[in-house]
């Protein structure tokens, strides 16, 4: 693709909560690749603000947003537990608005997450789950060093169809 866009990627802050929820609710209906469907996120703006505030000061959790013309067009996150035995494991999630596929935003967001994770004094393992049929995302993760650990048969249901999910990981 020869087109380019001006995009800003930065860590999310509590005042981004409303835009993030709007984005997640809109993208949930764009594709069957996300965990939530048309039911949306089910979180209030106030709850999202509180979560973002906690995440922003965390050493093993982060949320990045990609913005074009002041609008959120992508989100990437690392979610980790506060339990000492598993606080070193971060689960990655990435969502890009379908209208912005093909511009490299998924790659940029993932690279930001990996840089952040490298600086984290707590994280040593990153995991993600991706539907087996989502070949574009799987290719991106493999390109960035993620390895397939398992195929979870019937790991997700989309519109009544049971689909396989790949569990991938990367040690950092």
3-state secondary structure the chain: CCCCCCCEEEECCHHHHHHHHHHHHHHCCCCCCCCCCCCCCCCCHHHHHHHHHHHHCCCCCEEEEEEECCEEEEEEEEEECCCCCCCCEEEEEEEECHHHCCCCHHHHHHHHHHHHHHHCCCCCEEEEEEECCCHHHHHHHHHCCCEEEEEEEEEEEECCEEEEEEEEEEEC
Q: Report the pLDDT averaged over residues 110-130.
A: 97
- pLDDT tens for each residue of 42-85: 789 999 999 999 999 999 999 999 999 999 999 999 999 999 99
pLDDT of 39 over the 70 cut: no
8-125 — its CATH code? 3.40.630.30
pTM over 0.85: yes
| Mean pLDDT value of segment 143-161 | 94
pLDDT of residue 120: 96
Q: pLDDT band at 3, cuts 50/70/90? A: confident
With cut-offs at 50, 70 and 90, classify the pLDDT of residue 41. Answer: low
Sorted by where each begins, the domain ranges of the chain are 8-125
């Amino acid at each position: 693709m020869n087109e380019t866009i001006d995009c800003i990627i930065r860590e999310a802050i509590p005042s981004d909560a409303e835009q993030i929820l709007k984005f997640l609710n809109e993208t949930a209906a764009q594709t069957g690749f996300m965990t939530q469907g048309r039911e949306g996120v089910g979180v209030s703006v106030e709850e999202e603000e509180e979560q973002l505030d906690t995440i922003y000061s965390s050493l093993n959790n982060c949320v990045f947003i990609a913005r074009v013309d002041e609008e959120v067009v992508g989100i990437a996150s690392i979610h980790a537990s506060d339990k000492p035995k598993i606080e070193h494991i971060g689960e990655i999630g990435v969502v890009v608005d379908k209208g912005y596929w093909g511009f490299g935003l998924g790659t940029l967001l993932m690279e930001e997450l990996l840089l952040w994770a490298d600086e984290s004094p707590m994280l040593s393992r990153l995991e993600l789950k991706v539907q087996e049929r989502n070949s574009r995302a799987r290719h991106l993760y493999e390109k960035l060093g993620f390895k397939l650990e398992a195929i979870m048969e019937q790991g997700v249901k989309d519109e009544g169809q049971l689909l396989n999910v790949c569990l991938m990981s990367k040690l950092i």
